[in-house]
Structure 1
Amino acid sequence: MSTNNSQSVKRSFLDRYFQFQEHRTNLKTELIASFTTFITMVYIVFVNPKILGDAGMDSQAVFVTTALITGIACMLMGIVAKLPIALAPGMGINAYFAYVLVGSMGLTWQTGMTLIFLGAAGLFLLSVFRLRYWMISNIPLSLRIGVSSGCGLLITLIGLHNAHIIIADPDTMVRLGNPTSIPFILGCLSFLIVAVLAQRKWNSSILLSFVIVTLIGWAIDPEVTYHGLVSLPPDISGVVGQLDFSKVFEVTLVGIIISVMLINLFESSGTFIAVTEKAGLADKDGRYPNQQKSLYIDSASSALGAAMGTSAVTAYVESASGVAVGGRTGMMALGVGVLFLCAVFLSPLERMVPLYATTGALIYIGVLMASDLARVKWDDLTEAVPAFVATIMMPFSFTITEGIATGFITYVFMKLFTGRYKEITICAAVMAVLFLARYAFLF
């Protein structure tokens, strides 16, 4: 008895707080997992500023706020929810914001970021009223797959456009760009590097592609210049707290708020379940320790990210790389957060990175998001048609909102007129009615 007591006394504060012994891990393993996860997702501090910079935002300031919100969100997840899950601005939402809301629809970036903020705030309310898990379980699988896959195709199209691999054409809508141009060649190379390294199980495939293509661009592209390695963080007041609520409640924009909320809902919920299952923390129903706390942190961080000018924050599937090397507790997420806070001093490197270096990451993420199409019941048209419509409408309409709207409407229509109306969930019916009402007001 005395031996057990002496052993319990010797346990460090971190050991007791994060329950290393109970999870069969230790501080060294958790720190290795932190560094592994950081390496696999640090690309976001370079990609996010490039994408948001295309919307007219100060990319240097966005670099800093991206690192800050990632650090804060990860540390909160680690300390409060005690889960090995890292969070950062989502790749789907940032591209949607920059190239659709601002680029295509002509909104100011301040208004666009406010829509992202309201979508995240809506997700927070769903978490507070414990409706988030209910919504996930009541949205048909075919629609969840269609929305995710459609986002993937839209992100892929944006990646191809950034490298001028696909360009606009007045006669054929789009066509192949100049195969001999530097952006075209290095954009293709960036994707091939990511794909090959990912197949060979290199967790840092995106980061390595980013570094290799940037260095090659530095050597052969006169527009790529070196501006230094470290410096004090630049002024971020130009992007923080710049939300503009003056136009966001127009009928045409309400659908965007709902779309942002649903995208965040699908992305984060799927990642939470996948990573906790890999860590052995989830039960057969997908529930895991401190689930409600993790949902609060996820949605609150998402809203804070938009307020800070970095787009919505989401749970990152790259967390699985840290779990794979032994990460099991919130110490892993805490370590990732500390590393991202240190990254704020690397802002000069952001200016060196060419836009086409992001192509590989965007297309690869598109591949991952579209891979779930294999799970659609293609022999059941009441499931296949809505999934297909949601998938193709996003890239072809160049907006996520229309993909989600037409997906829900098609699902209810197919089930209703094939005599399978009992399969229509309350959530699907309500969403279809809301989107039909939106179209009625729009046209």
Structure 2
Amino acid sequence: MKQKNLIDQQNQEFRWSSNKAIFKMQKYFKFDQFQTTLKKELLGGLTTFLALVYILSVNSDILSQSQSINDPNVTMNEFGIFFATAITSIVATLLMGLWANVPIVMSPGMGMNTLFTFTLAQQAKLGFEGAMIAVLLASILFFIITVTPMRAMILQAIPKSLSIIFAVSIAFFIAYVGFEQMGWFKMDANTQLPIASLATFKENYLFIILGMATLGLMLFFHYRKVNGGVALSIVIGFIICIIFANTLPKSQISKISSANFRNGFNFHYDFEGFIWNIKSGMQSFANPKVWSNPGLYVCVLVVMLMSFFDDSAALNTLNMQRNKGLAVHHEVNRPTMLIDAGSGIMNGILGVSSMSVMVESSAGIHQGAKTGVAALVNVVLFGVAIVLFPVFATIPTVVTGAACVFIGILMVLHIAEIEWHKPQFAIPAFLAIIFSVTTFTIVNGVAIAILSYAFIMLIIKKAKQVHILIWPLCLVLLAYFVALAFIQ
């Protein structure tokens, strides 16, 4: 009864626009159900884009280090990667906005891109062509699992407390990514993992100060309840970086060199390179070097499982944030899961790493975005980025890194909801956080949390309370760790 009264009250409070076009949009995207406004959606969409725009340049940089299976001196075309990243992001996010009506952005994400280059292409010796095939096959398998009731059943089998643990581990992970982008950590040349060392402050003090100042601005605006504080902080931080990058000697601006305009924009459009990436991958279907490599089949399993658990954990976390303040709890809908799984097929064909649910979408949700309109804002901005990429590419990672840390701070507040007095949740929470951060992969934290949960339930003689699907899931996760060991 209370819930019904709250729903009626919210519906009465909602104001419909007198403009016919806006009224139709409000109806289609269910603004009344989500108690949102066009201003919140636009601002949330812009905030999300500013927080994740770095992926266009970072993804290109990482994937362009992938060597060919036929010639180690040949690598993927960098513009082709950038263009494919933008196109795949546009298509998947457009579907998220129009069909699923969620404020979630899809793009080839961090973690999956390093797996593509340094594990699949290099360590497993598949080359970028074999890595593309692995992504394609894994995405098809992921989509098949999602089309059947299997994915929904697995997600329903996971206790709510474990879902909260996943959210907290993602918070630590995204903050860790942010601190690395600011310059606090060094990226290990062999493992491609960020290594924490305060000694780097001496080398990167300028970048760290700029990043921390931007983070401080975000916190200031947040607690002063300034609308659009994250986006405003990113713009201010960007302007300050431009000033330093164009006045200091080049030897002192390594992490903000993208904002250095003294030599103009070092970028050109190479659509032939985009086509070459696609052709190289598709022609390798006939290459026996790919199919005779046993690492291919292990990689397909690893990529599929990483996509499944990474994205499922991210979707649950973002959905929890989206439901805050709403009278009715909205579950992750079926279109969202189908788009999430199916869009990776496109990535394997066009020549980029697997599609990811961008946890930076949390920044927009925090600003009030709750519908697909925020996703459509990102679609437009990704399109603009293709034309104005030289401008968007100049936003230094020290600024976007601050946004990642800020998101992590907000998300980690869920840590209070973990049932720390129960060992079946306290121990998995601890392990999930440690493994997500130290292995630089969310899925490892998710996997160890599920495995340890089942193990502790056995120890404390509560195995009968564990959902029956958790046990076969544990076997799959054990197989995942074994498979991962063979390709690393």
Q: Specify if TM > 0.5.
A: yes
Other-structure match for 1:130? 149
Correspondence 1:234-313 to 2 at 5 A? 234-235=270-271, 236-237=274-275, 239-240=277-278, 242=281, 246=290, 249-251=296-298, 254-272=301-319, 274-275=321-322, 277=323, 280=326, 283-284=328-329, 286-287=330-331, 291-305=333-347, 307-308=349-350, 309=352, 311-313=354-356
Secondary structure of the structure 2 residue equivalent to 1:54: helix
Deviation per CA, 1:85-106, whole angstroms, max 9, x where unpaired? 2423265545654787479957
Number of residue pairs the alignment of both structures matches? 420
* Kept after mapping to 2: 8 A contact 1:71/1:341: yes
Alignment of 1:317-396 (within 5 A): 317-320=362-365, 323=368, 330-349=372-391, 352-396=394-438
* Aligned counterpart for 1:68 among listed residues 82, 87, 104: 87
- 1: CA distance, partners of 2:440 / 2:24: 50
Q: Cα deviations across residues 255-288 of structure 1 (Å, max 9, x unaligned)?
A: 443122111111124324543x3595x834x348
Distance of aligned partners of 1:414 and 1:142 in 2 relative to their CA distance in 1, 3 Å threshold: same
Aligned-partner SS, 2:156 = helix
> Is the 2:432–2:445 contact (alpha carbons within 8 Å) kept by the matching residues of 1?
yes
Larger CA deviation: 300-309 vs 263-272: 300-309
Q: Report if the CA contact (8 A) 1:47-1:358 is conserved.
A: no
**3-state SS of 1:42 partner:** helix
Is this contact kept in 1: 2:45–2:373, CA < 8 A? no
Instruction: Look up the equivalent residue of 2:143 and give its one-letter code.
Output: F
CA gap of 1:305–1:409, structure 2 versus 1, over 3 A, is same
The answer as to whether partners of 1:40 and 1:321 remain within 8 angstroms in 2 is: no
2:242 paired with 1:200: no
Distance 1:349 1:114 in 2: 33
1:88 is aligned to 2:106: yes
Cα-to-partner distance string for 1:228-267 (whole Å, 9 max, x where unaligned): 5798854233555748783564446624431221111111
Unmatched 5+ residue regions in structure 1? 1-9
Alignment CA distance shift 1:178-1:382 (3 Å): closer
Q: Distance in 2 between matches of 1:98 and 1:365?
A: 26
Give the conservation status (yes or no) of the 8 Å contact 1:116–1:306.
yes
- Equivalent residues of 2:432, 2:449 under 8 A apart: yes
- CA contact under 8 A between 2:210 and 2:398: conserved in structure 1? no
Q: TM-score, normalised by structure 1?
A: 0.76
Cα 1:344–1:230 change in 2 (3 A) is farther
**1:350-372 CA-partner distances (Å, limit 9, x unpaired):** 55445545432443444445443
Where in structure 2 are the equivalents of 1:87-106 lying within 5 Å? 87-89=105-107, 91-94=109-112, 97=115, 101=119
Q: Secondary structure of the residue that 1:204 maps to in structure 2?
A: helix
Partner residue, 1:41: 49
Specify the alignment match of 1:3 in structure 2: none
Structure-1 separation of matches of 2:189 and 2:90: 42
Q: Provide the TM-score with structure 2 as the length reference.
A: 0.70
Amino acid at match of 1:180: K
Query: Within 1, Cα distance between the matches of 2:130 and 2:197?
Result: 32
- 1:51-87 superposed Cα distances (whole Å, 9 cap, x missing partner): 5513426554444333333332333233334x25242
SS in 2 for 1:220: coil
Paired position in structure 2 for 1:431:
473
CA distance in 2, matches of 1:366, 1:22: 29
More divergent stretch after superposition (351-360 vs 412-421):
351-360
Structure 2: stretches of 5+ with no match in the other structure: 1-17, 66-75, 223-228
Deviations, residues 315-352 of structure 1 (Å, cap 9, x unaligned)? 6234426745xx75x45543442332122111223554
